[in-house]
Chains A and B, each alone.
Chain A
């Protein structure tokens, strides 16, 4: 569809360029150079996403190696030392080098477009944040060749992603692997804080004319909440990485138990970061659902103000729940009760969101294209993840299952079942905007169904070895525990997911060259990014847009029945 076929609205003043960007393609080196020096939020967004997808494959390979090792008892596919490195690197990579960058990538790309701005508030800070985060990632993986580990046996960090003290102290982790881990997270943390500041300034200061706070699409709202959480949650991580480095390099005693330091303090500090981090990752997933579900249900989102309030509420409540990771460390009975109740409180705003999504679906003309399929699976899996979360929030139950595979299954249900599924939905939904071409729908269906089958084989069945007492982070197990078949199924499910993701990668590459031309607005959507060409010109909007409702493109397409008459 070209621009002229869209119905013109009454009282037109502004106009948006629909001419595709004529990018004179230079030599190969010039193209690479333009990507390295870019301060364009769209290019940086794509860089973030590409960087995260590369590390998704790397950490996925690590997960596969873990599952091969655990497919049968007494397996000796990898050594115990390698196994420790694998789960440490898998966890650290997935959280810091996949989750955070891909979500910031979408935020970078979408927030300015959705609020009708030409770029982020601070484009150069944006580029700095990306490159320092990318440097952190490379530093972490450089440890494979540059690090010297425990007694010459390790090269990559092997202290688990939460790196409990005092294992990370110089006495127990000689060599440099923990240093690579700490400095890498410090660097990527600085990048995250920079991006969070940028997103907050963009959402609150760069909105186009008429876009009041209650007319911002839900995605920028949720990104603002996430960014606030990054400020107050990632900063403590930065602080405790600094403390760890002071201990290791300057002979400090923060977490040195022999000199009176406290290992428990590290656990508190880490989880003050660690739990809000889950919400830093899941709020953008909610944000994608908030945009995709209404468009494919052909209805406006149900309960917009309640959605905003619930998101901000989740942000605040998530700051007071961290010690539910520490029930077995031993809290007072008041502490146990407090953190059980505060954790359960999270289910109220998340419940509001879930019911609002269901109410959006209710009575809609639902189109089951790939983004919507992933969103529906997300809804279902998110509810189950929430239910096991409530089980684990009960301190007495938690004492039985702490650090078991039940916990591993629970948080993978959140991270994969909710977040990764919504990331796939977002990639299918916005790929046409970013590249100008649709992803192949048939391959998308294959990707979706294999992913769903593989996911449920792996993570549904992973709960049971946990209930039967299988602890996490063990490199092998005895054959007489009754875990054999379950572990076998879990591993097979993992391989099915790997095949699904390979199909997806093929789809990404294939459709870039051969995909169907998308046009500016392939999904008949309502937010401002679809008012630009695909991909948008570097300046986004030739003239500053003005909006009068939450769905500016609906108003444009339906001048006889604009939203602005009802808001």
Chain B
């Protein structure tokens, strides 16, 4: 190596000057909302992991003398027709709902990855086939799909998970495929090809991480959506059966007694709403953060 001459003078160019431009983006949701959302999600996750820590009673413990008790200091959410503590059941239902939500999203995502990768990277014929499959899945009503699955495989959390997973799959698949096509044609992938990197290395180090980046946000939003779906199935009596605590199934059970015991439906319902809303708030926040970090 020969001598290294002193480097050129520092580049006398203004750092990207602040361009005055009115911000079009809506202001970020208040910090309070964010903290509250985080607290709700944290509490639900804790309830799912350690329900006995939070629940004052056994969710299955029947006490007929206390049936239909309205919310009180002893039973904050009241009791159901068999005198079970609704608050404890909501706590214990968190695990079911969360497992189904995450599991369904996982199943949907796994299927979407297979389809999306095949379509985005497999060439024209594979892409055509994948696009058709996605379209058919889109056109198929999710509830009907779930009905068929449950009719064939019977009521269980797993069937519920698979049904919701299949219903959410085409959305993810389309996203994965589109992202792959965009990233594959990008200038930085071209640059990597020009450097002579082998295709597998470009795929693993450049294409996949960039294509999946927006997916992380979508998944956060998707878990909430899947929980609503699962609750809907539970409400229709498909999925986990009573007396197991599950939010959707609790809604269904309370439906019959809504005239005399509104709390049986109100509290599981509000839990679903608040939890899903919190996930959405967090997801949006994450989206904004990644958008700001992404280049285009």
Pair from one complex: no
Q: Which residues of B contact A (CB under 8 A)?
A: none
Q: Which residues of A contact B (CB under 8 A)?
A: none
